Structure 1
Amino acid sequence: MRAPLRWVLWDVRDTLVSVLGSAGEQYCKEAEKLGLSLNYAEVDAAFSRVYQDYSSRFPNYGKSQGLTGQIWWMRVVKETLSQCRVQDPDVVNAVANNAYLNFRNATNWEIYPDAKPALERCSSLGLKLGVVSNFDNRLEAILHSCGLLSHFSFVISSEAAGVAKPSPDIFVQALEKCSTSADSVAHVGDHFINDYLASRSAGIHGILLDRRNKHKEADIPQEHRIVSLEQLASRLQQLAQQ
């Protein structure tokens, strides 16, 4: 007999919240406070290049290479500005530091309209909630600022865990906190590999949040996919009845 469903684990970025605007826009706004006018499109393009490069060379915020999330992000900002020909070290340092601190605040994040109702509905079904997210150590502060932290029994960021999705090891840490078997746990996230496939490889009931219908034709059972968190409660109830 299958164990009853007891927990729902959550991804955060692009599942519950998204960056308001873009990282490049936020950096430009910080630069403007210091009297420097930058082109949003140029900064966005530079950020995309730098972010991909650093994610490849220093995965999971470079923790295994002796970095911290703060150092990693400040280097990303500084290199982004350098590629946009910003050379003043005082301006570069100020923008990097302010951007890192300000991204803790809800003003830089958009909460999806279906997020809080879905969390509340899950709790009303008697399910406990936790977070498993590829994120730096600001995650709890961001969730608190967005009014979401109180919904969760625990929060695991990849920086704190020392391992990132899609490694199943981060889910092993989550299961230890849940103190239950994997088949009593579901995981909800927007990334096909990092959330859906990774959680299922750990024996967890992975549910893919596919807001843009990108995986409509993908090799994924339709009962494992939702296009809105409004559909989540009914899917979880279906799992509980199987």
Structure 2
Amino acid sequence: MRRVISLDSTGTLLNISKSVGHQYLRILDSFFPGSLSAQDKTLLTKEFNVNMPLHYKEALKKNPNFGHGSIGVYEWWKGLVRQLYLSSHIDMKDYQFSLLFDDTYNQFRTTNCWDMYPETIPVLEEIQARGIDVVVTSDFDVGLVNILRQHGLFKPDDISSSLVKEVITSYEQGLAKPDLLKLVKEKWDITVHVGDSYERDVVGAEKIGVLPIFVDRGNSGICKLHPSVQTLSGILDYIK
């Protein structure tokens, strides 16, 4: 029987290209070309980077798991993006916002907005070569499946050759970590979970009796009791 490990997605396998502020500014600027000065663009990028995490946290508090069982993922993101623009005093007609949001929503579900870390594919290939399967466990919405598919990590139509065997998200299950990790452990009997959030990934895995490996790209040194690596490549030392 093959062993199975769990990996987080954002900050572990991939991340937003450049920054979230850059992506929202890029899409906004493409809809209203020439309307923003260079100074406006710099200021808005900074504001988006600061305000997005605040609105994201508030939206999750109001409707957990990206609106699972309540407003749904599309309306969840639509409300959040509207608040993001309003907090930067960007106003537009309703039909303009609807068109802009549709494009934003769709782009964030593609490789247009997400980059893989350079070591991601080589590490996953080595894990596969060692006879170990990978499931991705993430506090994310259903768009993650398409992102991983476009990056070549997940092949739902050819699981036998896929580097990732299953993608399990908090939106689909209506659960966030550590409860989401508990569900994955019950289904896959995972022995290791790898992630970049100390609270959600390290503490969450510890609570369910799974070995956590902390991806500490910023070298914070916060994780003292469990394995900590600065890049995904480092996990190979702990997975034999």
1:126 aligns with 2:131: yes
Is 1:152 aligned to 2:145, yes or no?
A: no
Uncovered stretches (5+) of structure 1, i.e. residues with no partner? 238-242
Q: Secondary structure of the equivalent of 1:117?
A: helix
1-structure distance, mates of 2:237, 2:4: 15
In the alignment, residue 131 of structure 2 is paired with which amino acid? G
- Residue 67 of structure 1, CA deviation: 1.9
Are 1:21 and 2:27 counterparts?
no
CA shift, 1:71, in A, is 1.4
2:180 is aligned to 170
Look up the equivalent residue of 2:168 and give its one-letter code: I
1:46 aligns with 2:51: yes
The answer to whether the 8 Å contact 2:3/2:133 transfers is: yes
Closer, same or farther: CA 227–5 of 1 in aligned 2, 3 Å? farther
Q: Does 1:213 align with 2:213?
A: no
CA separation in 2, counterparts of 1:8 and 1:210? 18
Task: Please state whether the residue corresponding to 1:27 is helix, strand or coil.
Answer: helix
For the Cα contact (< 8 Å) 2:142–2:172, is it kept in 1?
yes
C-alpha distance in 1 between matches for 2:186 and 2:113: 32
Whether contact under 8 Å (1:11, 1:131) holds in the other structure is yes
Please point out which of 47, 56, 59 is paired with 2:61: 56
CA contact (8 A) 2:2 2:131 kept: no
**Which residue of structure 1 lines up, in the alignment, with residue 94 of structure 2?**
89
- TM-score, normalized by length of structure 1? 0.85
Q: Give secondary structure in 2 for the equivalent of 1:8.
A: strand
Alignment counterpart, residue 197 of structure 2, candidates 191, 201, 217 = 191
1:60·1:158 contact (CA, 8 Å) conserved in 2?
A: yes
Which stretch shows the higher mean deviation, 201-210 or 28-37?
28-37
Any idea what the Cα deviations from partners look like across 1:94-138, whole Å, max 9, x if unmatched? 221111101111121111011111111111110011111000011
TM-score (norm: length of structure 2): 0.86
Which ranges in structure 2 are unaligned for 5 or more consecutive residues? 155-161
CA distance in 2, matches of 1:109, 1:236: 27
Cα offset for 1:58? 2.3
- How many percent of aligned residue pairs carry the same amino acid? 25
Q: CA RMSD in A?
A: 1.9
- Aligned position for 1:72: 76
Query: Deviations 1:72-96 (Å, cap 9, x if unpaired)?
Result: 1111111111222313212221221
Contact 1:118/1:233, CA 8 A, preserved across alignment: yes
Deviation, 1:217, is 5.3
Inter-partner Cα distance in structure 2 for 1:87 and 1:139: 29
Whole-Å separation in 1 of the counterparts to 2:47 and 2:217: 28
Cα distance in 1 for partners of 2:109, 2:55 equals 21
Structure 1 counterpart SS, 2:224: coil
Whether 2:9 is the aligned partner of 1:12: answer yes
Give how far 1:218 is off. 4.2
